[in-house]
């Protein structure tokens, strides 16, 4: 934070932006810089009551600082505050949105598609499920019990029935359980999560697509968190690699640039493989602007006003860091993943901890349980280690997972693995999504082990 390049870069770019409008007569806006300075002092003080999300020792929840170029571009766009509802509200920023979304679709192998930015992953998923409901009214939506909790709520809003499919002990949707649901013949859409929020588990998309051949349904891929891992197949293990390779066969995809894409909040994205679904969005708002004959983004979005600045920030970031395999952006993702694998490796060698059975993390989220006689004690230890880490400026997260996930499971046992209140244990969780986490792993490990020594002795 100390050598922030943004203020200098921004002041130069602001001059250039002002130069674009010099033909206009000058005007004054009444502002009181003294009063503003006071309010901003108070604001800075209030913001100090936060976890230090920008720092590598923040390794808890899914929070990644926006790239400086995204912050600068967002702030630059604030001089205009464009609205990407329509071209009249944001002519340049709508074009930039179209280009940025093409970049994301291209990462998934799509050149012809329909897509746009949304305020969040939740809104992106809502649009995908709304379209799914339009195409198959009255048919059910199903997703793994580890799918994001909002799918159930979204389905309720859309008045579509939603059912949970049990997950196996690595958090993957069970294909046996899915097929049982499919045999009932009323499933319209399967939500496949590439990167669950809790543990970064990757549902077997390729196997779901094979079932689609047999049963016929729509496949929506929720890649809000995990979508960008498509860029680093060489850093993934099977079967996750196979799932990512199949993503271009999805019917719709949601991805959050504000999670792994280095963007400020307010930036989700939804993509549809068939552009013809645009017909469902048709509306006849009497005050919709039509100065342009081209389709405008308000015509293909459920939301009306949207931050043009979010599109500008994303566009600028993708100019600097194109979404190409082997590029700098991809290497940053791979560094976080390497940090996760290394943390998992160290946890496995230390008998104070229990990691998920057999396989290392699939993406960049690590979860582990404290070893104790029973789950109540293990949960209490997790809470205490969490607090002792925080006292050392290391910020982790907590997650409740089925206790059965930590037993060496021989074969899949759906009734054991179905999460139920009685079988949950509190675990520690770390999302190592910053490239800096790799270089900071030793310091993270030192603090974690010191915290454990304090709480558990030894
Ligand atoms: C975060 C997340 C969402 C919700 O996205 P928001 O941008 O927080 O609304 C949906 N699905 C998955 C898998 C997520 O990780």
Predicted confidence (pLDDT) per residue in 116-162, tens digit: 999 999 999 999 999 999 999 999 999 999 999 999 999 999 999 99
Ligand 1 contacts CB of residue 223 (under 6 A): no
- Report the pLDDT value the prediction gives residue 282, as an integer from 0 to 100: 79
Question: Quick one: tokens of 21?
Answer: 């409008």
pLDDT band with cut points at 50, 70 and 90 for residue 26: very high
Determine the 3-state secondary structure of 243 from DSSP. Answer: helix
Residues 285 and 359 grouped into a single domain: no
Residues 228 and 363 grouped into a single domain: no
Cα of 154 vs centre of ligand 1, distance in Å, is 12
Residues 131 and 223 grouped into a single domain: yes
Handedness of CA 63, 65, 66, 67 (dihedral sign): negative
d(CA 254, CA 252): 7
Q: What is the mean pLDDT of residues 159-186?
A: 97
Span of 94-108, 280-294, 310-324 with lowest mean pLDDT: 280-294
Residues 137 and 198 grouped into a single domain: yes
Residues 234 and 257 grouped into a single domain: yes
pLDDT(417) > 80: no
Largest CA distance in the chain: 76
Please report where in the chains the tokens 């009181």 appear, as a residue. 32
Q: What percent of the chain has pLDDT over 90?
A: 89
- Report the pLDDT value the prediction gives residue 115, as an integer from 0 to 100: 96
For residue 189, give the CATH number of its domain. Answer: 3.40.640.10
Does 83 fall in a domain?
no
Contact, 261 vs 318, CB < 8 A? Answer: no
Mean confidence (pLDDT) of the chain:
93
Ligand 1 contacts CB of residue 203 (under 6 A): no
pLDDT(83) > 90: yes
Chosen domain end from 320, 353, 382 = 320
- Report the pLDDT value the prediction gives residue 113, as an integer from 0 to 100: 95
H/E element holding 312?
helix 308-320
**Which of ligand 1's atoms lies nearest the C-alpha of 148?**
11
Query: CA-CA-CA-CA torsion for 73, 74, 80, 81, nearest 10 degrees?
Result: 160
Cα of 151 vs centre of ligand 1, distance in Å, is 10
- Report the pLDDT value the prediction gives residue 227, as an integer from 0 to 100: 98
Contact, 107 vs 245, CB < 8 A? Answer: no
Question: Quick one: tokens of 55?
Answer: 């720092």
- Report the pLDDT value the prediction gives residue 8, as an integer from 0 to 100: 96
d(CA 403, CA 423): 6
Q: Which of 197, 200, 250, 257 to mutate to test the pocket of ligand 1 (most atoms within 8 A of CB)?
A: 197
pLDDT band with cut points at 50, 70 and 90 for residue 458: low
Please report where in the chains the tokens 């389905």 appear, as a residue. 155
**Helix ranges (DSSP H) in 349-436:** 375-390, 414-417
pLDDT band with cut points at 50, 70 and 90 for residue 296: confident
Does 133 fall in a domain?
yes
Chosen domain end from 287, 320, 353 = 320
- Rounded to an integer, what is the distance from CA 282 to the centroid of its chain? 29
Does 14 fall in a domain?
no
pLDDT band with cut points at 50, 70 and 90 for residue 263: very high
d(CA 251, CA 249): 7
Contacts of 292 (CB under 8 A, 6+ apart): 87, 88
Burial of 232 (0-12, 13-18, 19+ CB in 10 A): buried
* Domain span holding position 167: 91-320
Residues 171 and 215 grouped into a single domain: yes
Contact, 179 vs 217, CB < 8 A? Answer: no
pLDDT(166) > 60: yes
H/E element holding 428?
strand 424-431
Ligand 1 contacts CB of residue 61 (under 6 A): no
**Which of ligand 1's atoms lies nearest the C-alpha of 119?**
7
**CB neighbourhood size of 63 (10 A):** 18
- Report the pLDDT value the prediction gives residue 358, as an integer from 0 to 100: 73
Residues 316 and 334 grouped into a single domain: no
Number of domains in the chain: 2
Ligand 1 contacts CB of residue 256 (under 6 A): yes
Residues 163 and 182 grouped into a single domain: yes
Smallest CA-to-CA distance from 385 within 372, 373, 374 is with 372
Residues 352 and 313 grouped into a single domain: no
Does 163 fall in a domain?
yes
Ligand 1 contacts CB of residue 257 (under 6 A): no
Ligand 1 contacts CB of residue 193 (under 6 A): yes
- Report the pLDDT value the prediction gives residue 163, as an integer from 0 to 100: 98
Residues 383 and 440 grouped into a single domain: yes
Q: What is the mean pLDDT of residues 3-20?
A: 96
Phi, psi of 16 (to 5 degrees): -65, -40
- Report the pLDDT value the prediction gives residue 87, as an integer from 0 to 100: 87
pLDDT(421) > 50: no
For residue 366, give the CATH number of its domain. Answer: 3.90.1150.10
What are the pLDDT digits (tens) for 273-291?
999 999 998 776 655 444 4
**CB neighbourhood size of 290 (10 A):** 11
CA angle 235, 239, 244 (to 5 degrees): 65
pLDDT(295) > 80: no
pLDDT(194) > 50: yes
pLDDT(216) > 70: yes
Q: Report pTM.
A: 0.95
Residues 348 and 282 grouped into a single domain: no
Please report where in the chains the tokens 């010191």 appear, as a residue. 450
Q: Which of 129, 148, 205 to mutate to test the pocket of ligand 1 (most atoms within 8 A of CB)?
A: 148
- Report the pLDDT value the prediction gives residue 299, as an integer from 0 to 100: 83
Q: Which of 143, 145, 155, 225 to mutate to test the pocket of ligand 1 (most atoms within 8 A of CB)?
A: 225
Cα of 258 vs centre of ligand 1, distance in Å, is 10
- Report the pLDDT value the prediction gives residue 287, as an integer from 0 to 100: 53
Contacts of 380 (CB under 8 A, 6+ apart): 426
Residues 300 and 412 grouped into a single domain: no
pLDDT band with cut points at 50, 70 and 90 for residue 3: confident
Contact, 403 vs 370, CB < 8 A? Answer: no
């Amino acid at each position: 934070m100390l050598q922030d390049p943004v203020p200098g870069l921004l002041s130069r770019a602001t001059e250039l932006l002002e130069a674009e409008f010099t033909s206009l007569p000058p005007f004054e806006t009444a502002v009181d810089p003294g009063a503003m300075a006071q309010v901003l002092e108070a604001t800075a003080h209030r913001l100090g009551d936060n976890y230090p999300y920008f720092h590598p020792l923040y390794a808890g929840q899914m929070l990644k600082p926006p790239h400086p170029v995204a912050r600068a571009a967002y702030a630059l766009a604030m001089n205009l505050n464009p609205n990407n509802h329509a071209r009249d509200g944001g002519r340049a920023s709508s074009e930039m949105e179209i280009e940025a979304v093409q970049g994301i679709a291209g990462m998934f192998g799509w050149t012809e598609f329909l897509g746009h930015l949304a305020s969040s992953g939740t809104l992106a998923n809502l649009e995908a499920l709304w379209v799914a409901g339009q195409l198959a009214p009255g048919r059910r939506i199903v997703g793994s019990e580890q799918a994001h909790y909002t799918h159930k709520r979204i389905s309720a809003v859309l008045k579509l029935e939603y059912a949970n499919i049990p997950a196996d002990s690595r958090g993957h949707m069970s294909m046996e359980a899915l097929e049982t649901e499919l045999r009932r013949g009323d499933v319209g859409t399967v939500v496949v999560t590439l990167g669950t929020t809790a543990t970064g588990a990757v549902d077997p998309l390729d196997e779901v697509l094979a079932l689609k051949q047999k049963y016929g349904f729509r496949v929506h891929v929720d890649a809000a968190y995990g979508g960008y891992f498509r860029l680093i197949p060489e850093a993934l293990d099977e079967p996750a690699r196979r799932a990512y390779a199949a993503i271009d066969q999805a019917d719709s995809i949601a991805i959050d640039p504000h999670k792994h894409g280095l963007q400020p909040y307010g930036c989700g994205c939804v993509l549809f493989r068939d552009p013809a679904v645009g017909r469902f969005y048709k509306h006849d708002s009497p005050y919709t602007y039509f100065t342009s004959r081209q389709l405008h983004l308000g015509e293909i979005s459920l939301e009306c006003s949207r931050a043009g600045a979010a599109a500008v920030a994303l566009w600028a970031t993708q100019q600097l860091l194109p979404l190409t395999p082997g590029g700098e952006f991809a290497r940053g993702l791979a560094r976080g993943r390497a940090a996760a694998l290394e943390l998992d490796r160290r946890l496995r060698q230390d008998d104070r901890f229990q990691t998920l059975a057999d396989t290392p993390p699939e993406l960049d989220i690590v979860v582990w349980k404290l070893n104790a006689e029973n789950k109540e004690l293990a949960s209490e230890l997790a809470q205490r280690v969490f607090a002792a880490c925080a006292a050392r400026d290391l910020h982790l997260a907590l997650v409740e997972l089925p206790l059965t996930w930590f037993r060496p499971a021989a074969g899949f046992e759906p009734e054991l693995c179905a999460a139920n209140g009685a079988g949950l244990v509190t675990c520690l969780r770390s999302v190592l999504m910053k490239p800096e986490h790799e270089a900071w792993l030793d310091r993270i490990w030192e603090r974690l082990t010191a915290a454990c020594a304090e709480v558990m002795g030894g």
